[in-house]
Structure 1
Amino acid sequence: MKSISQNKSCKAVAAIVAVGLVLAAAILFWKKEPNQPAGEQEHAAAPSEKAESHGSEEGLVRLSAQQIQQAGITTAIAGEATIVTSVQLPGEVRFNEDRTAHIVPRLPGVAESVSANLGQIVKKGQVLAVIASPELAELRSSLGAARTKEDLARVTYERERKLWQDKISAEQDYLQARQAWEEAKIATRTAQSKLTALGVTPGSGQLNRYELRAPFDGIIVEKHISLGEAVKEDANVFLLSDLSRVWVDVVVTPKDLGIVRVGETATVKAAAADLSATGKVSYVGALVGEQTRSATARVELVNPSLAWRPGLFVNVSLVQGSKHAAVAVESDALQTVDEKPVVFVKVPEGFKAQPVTVGANDARHVEILQGLRVGAVYASGGSFVLKAEQGKGSAEHED
């Protein structure tokens, strides 16, 4: 009986050992990923190692000196700067109204020829169109008749004066002849003045030929006349403007009226056309618009290349004041990471994104209130490359 009991105990122990071996094999099997060889598991840790190699320190971008040079990244030293604060105002380029003219015939007639075209540059005195006008023919005929009468009255006066001096005729005849001559001269001057007021000369040839001429150098910006068209004396047939100088109308809110003063220097920029120029404030409106609740100021710009075109929307910058910044960096150095301003500071391994608190700024510098010390070397040019590289590193680390 004792032998039978020992055999049963040996069999139980063997069964327990067998079950343990099966469980151990199952545990080892499930540790492997499905359908993944054991050799590949050894490489599973590679991404973390790669992320660690990019830089385990947050915000660090590892770059060698050669990589920095190839990326075109330049550095500068943080230091003191004078920040010029300014106010930005919207504006629009306009015609210089002092050098813009609506050209009208001033006499009714028919367009006999039109030599000026839209957009053409013309010189002072250049013929723009020729009008055939019956009224002009009458005026020139009246002037001719007045001159003839004046000549006849002068001859009569000289004859009567000689007769009176020789005591052949009475003094009354001499005085009447002199009066007639004076009246004839007045009539001639009146007829001449009418033609002068119209800007025409007595001329020769066709009496009805009326030439429209440019009053100054400029560009034809509007044209409302064609060959054979009947025009009235007050018709606006041409709009001529000298665009060598243009006006910029600036919208000024009441809070900025104290800054905008006549004689101040203004910087005008047009982002759409990539233009920039400086000019002087020549006018500040005395009234605030009832609807717009703003005043109008004017800046005059020299426009030799005719790049500033009327109708172009611009931004006008006026200096408001200046501030001394104890620590400042160049404007291009400032980047935004995670909706926070940062400056990439030079470190032995490359560059590190340093969060900063900014203050005043202008077109060249940004004041740093916190986060950066005087003498710190930072990426002044090409900082956007560092931002992009940091973004890549963050994405790889998340993966």
Structure 2
Amino acid sequence: MNTSSTTMKERQFKARRRVSSLMALGMIAAFSPAFAQSPSHDAGVAAPNAAVVTLPQDQWRAAGITLAPVTRAPFENTLRLTGKISLNEDRVAHIYSLVEGTVSDVPVTLGQRVQTDDLLAVIHSREVGEAKLQLYQDRLQVELANIQHQMQTKVAGNASELLDALRNNTGIDEIERQFRDRPMGDFRERVVAAYAAYLKSAADVVRLEGISETGAVSGKQLLTARANRNADQATFQSRIEQIQHELHTSTVMSSQAVKMAEAKALVSATSLRILNVPANEIDHIDPVNQGETISHYAIRAPFDGTILTKDVVLSEQVRPDVLLFSIADLSTVWVTANIYEEHLPLLDSFKNQTVKLRNDALPEQSFTAKVFYTGDVMDETTRTISLRAIADNSGHHLKPGMFINIELPTSQPTASVLIPSSAVQEHAGQTFVFVLNGTNDFHRRDVKLGLANESSVVVEQGLHDGESIVVQGGFILKSQLLADLMGEE
């Protein structure tokens, strides 16, 4: 046997033993400089023989070799952020009194859960008492104005019917019978007196005309009687027109009086509504029965929630600028997180996304939240953009101020070459995979990687669709490749 050939085989055997020992320890201490300097190749170009490992198929199972075709799929990843639980700012109320006064009752305590319209405090307010009394007086004026208007309307109706009867020359006796018990004020006396005078003058003319032919009366007397009749008729017609005008005017004035009284009462009621006095109290003001409680001003809960702050005690003087209570609806909370500048391309995809929430203090529970806002302004100090989501908190497990871990799913709109992370090998700063070429040959293929998640990585350059790559057992091939290279030294 040739001595040089024997020496080469011994060196290869020793190199393989060295690599096997290193594999048993789970690491490779050093690699051949020759392999590190091997050139990279584009996809589809076979590597030189130095980057090829031949392994018969009957040994694949023992070596743990698993193949998979190169495919394209949308890249999905989970972005993990640290966020904070905060109050739902749309469901927080800071409650002040709208009036000055003295606190006479505080039936709630700090931390108490209240329902909508639950009583929080009662304030004895002079302003409220005076406003209620004014409304009560205004309503009395409305009642009086309505009664006067009804009476005036009735009088006007009766008087109008009387005028119609007089225009039709109804007799005095018939008029007396029809309108005896019907009220019409002084209009009856004024118009009936004028009508009676006219009837008398007309009767005198008729009487004198009947005897004037006999010469019993002079023509001058007849002319005088006719003049008196015409004058009384004109007076009667004038009286009718005057009364009609007065009836119309008095009816309009009484109607306006009602409207003015109603407007004044409406203004008084509106003043109480502005002070947030409940409609039920406004509708049932009764100074006699209510007594001094008519000045009580109730402060009530605007919605279901929990009392977070309480800064009021009995007999305390309060003003509109003093905060009394803070109430928050904790059935929902906001989740706030900061999105870093590197994730800005994904910002639009976060909108309306459902995210998972976890907290180390509650390891067995998970929560979800829906993103409703991705900020439009970047914080100049932290170079981040605020993200907010709303989470159901019906169990009240999420406490405002609590830190939370957020899992935010992300995806790319286009499909990419996606391979398992286990298929990627690395040496001397270069990443590569093993591509099956033929039946038993595994070629090293340098690749350029992109985004990665827990199990997969995007290959930007180096692989084509349909190629078979080693997804499990690649470390064995890599070790064999390194052993061969080291044996050639």
Give the aligned partner of residue 373 of structure 1: 472
C-alpha deviation, 1:319, in angstroms = 1.7
With normalisation by structure 2, the TM-score equals 0.50
Counterpart contact for 1:283–1:297, Cα < 8 Å: yes
Identity across matched positions, percent: 28
Q: Deviations over 1:315-361 (max 9, x none)?
A: 322223389554669xxxxxxxxxxxxxxxxxxxxxxxxxxxxx944
Matched residue, 1:309: 399
Q: Secondary structure at the match of 2:81?
A: strand
Greater percentage in helix: 2
Pair 1:176-2:266 in alignment: no
Confirm whether residue 288 of structure 1 aligns to residue 280 of structure 2. no
Does 1:224 pair with 2:307? Answer: no
Cα separation, 1, equivalents of 2:105 and 2:158? 59
Query: For residues 144 and 93 of structure 1, do their structure 2 counterparts lie closer, same or farther at Cα, with a shift above 3 Å needed?
Result: same
1:214 partnered with 2:301: yes
Q: CA 1:95/1:209 → structure 2, altered by over 3 Å: closer, same or farther? A: same
How far apart are residue 185 of structure 1 and its match? 0.6
- CA 290–58 in structure 1, closer or farther in 2 if over 3 Å, else same: closer
Sort the Cα spacing of 1:304 and 1:328 in 2 relative to 1 into closer, same or farther, 3 A. farther
Within a 5 Å distance, the mapping from 1:115-194 to structure 2 comes to 115-167=107-159, 168=184, 170-171=246-247, 172-194=249-271
Of 312-321 and 113-122, the range deviating more from structure 2? 312-321
Provide the rounded CA distance (Å) in 1 between the counterparts of 2:358 and 2:314. Answer: 42
Offset at residue 265 of structure 1 (A): 2.1
Instruction: Give structure 2 stretches of 5+ with no counterpart.
Output: 1-22, 27-65, 160-183, 188-245, 424-450, 458-468, 476-489
Shift in CA distance, 234/58, structure 1 to aligned 2, threshold 3 Å = same
The count of aligned residue pairs is 275
CA–CA separation in structure 2 for the residues paired with 1:326 and 1:285: 35
Q: Does 1:240 align with 2:327?
A: yes
Question: For the pair shown, which has the larger CA radius of gyration, 1 or 2?
Answer: 2
CA change 1:289–1:360 in 2 (3 A) is closer
Residue 350 of structure 2 is aligned to residue 265 of structure 1: no
The alpha-carbon distance between structure 1 residues 117 and 260, as it changes in their structure 2 partners (threshold 3 A), is farther
Distance 1:180 1:265 in 2: 64
Q: What secondary structure is seen at the aligned counterpart in 2 of 1:115?
A: coil
Letter in 1 for 2:403: F
Once the two structures are superposed, residues 176-231 of structure 1 have per-residue CA deviations (whole angstroms, 9 ceiling, x without a partner) of 11111101111111111122222222255211111111111111111111111111
TM-score by length of 1: 0.61
Structure 1 residues 79 and 233: CA distance shift in structure 2, 3 A = farther
CA shift for structure 1 position 372: 8.3
Preserved CA contact (<8 Å) 2:113 2:305: yes
**Residue aligned with 1:141, SS:** helix
User: Which residue number corresponds to residue 34 of structure 1?
Assistant: none
Among residues 96, 100, 103, which one is paired with 1:104 in the alignment? 96
1 CA distance for matches of 2:105 and 2:422?
67
Partner of 2:10: none
**CA offset at residue 373 of structure 1?**
2.6
Equivalent residues of 1:278, 1:301 under 8 A apart = yes
Deviation at 1:150, TM superposition (A): 0.6
Q: Distance in 1 between matches of 2:358 and 2:419?
A: 26
- CA–CA distance in 2 between the matches of 1:260 and 1:310? 25
Write the mapping of 1:348-363 to structure 2, written as runs, cut at 5 A: 360-362=452-454
1:122 deviates by 0.7
Higher relative contact order (CA 8 A, sep 6+): 2
CA distance in 1, matches of 2:270, 2:148: 25
1:259–1:318 contact (8 Å) kept in structure 2: no
Query: Is the CA contact 2:111–2:308 (under 8 Å) kept in the aligned structure 1?
Result: yes
Q: Is the 8 A contact 2:420 2:456 kept in 1?
A: no
Q: Which moved more, 1:267-276 or 1:146-155?
A: 267-276
Change (3 A) 1:113 1:371: farther
Mind listing any 5+ residue stretches in structure 1 that lack a counterpart?
Answer: 1-56, 61-77, 330-358, 377-399
Deviations for 1:222-250, whole angstroms, at most 9, x for unmatched residues?
11111111111232211111111111122
- Measured after TM superposition, the shift of residue 375 of structure 1 is 12
Contact 1:128 1:211 in 2 (8 A): yes
Residue pair 1:79, 1:328 contacting (<8 A) in 2 also: no
SS in 2 for 1:237: strand
Give CA deviations for 1:280-311 in whole Å, capped at 9, x if unaligned.
11011111123333221211101111111111
Q: State the superposition RMSD in angstroms.
A: 3.4
More strand by share: 1
Partner of residue 16, structure 1: none
The structural deviation recorded for 1:58 is: 5.4
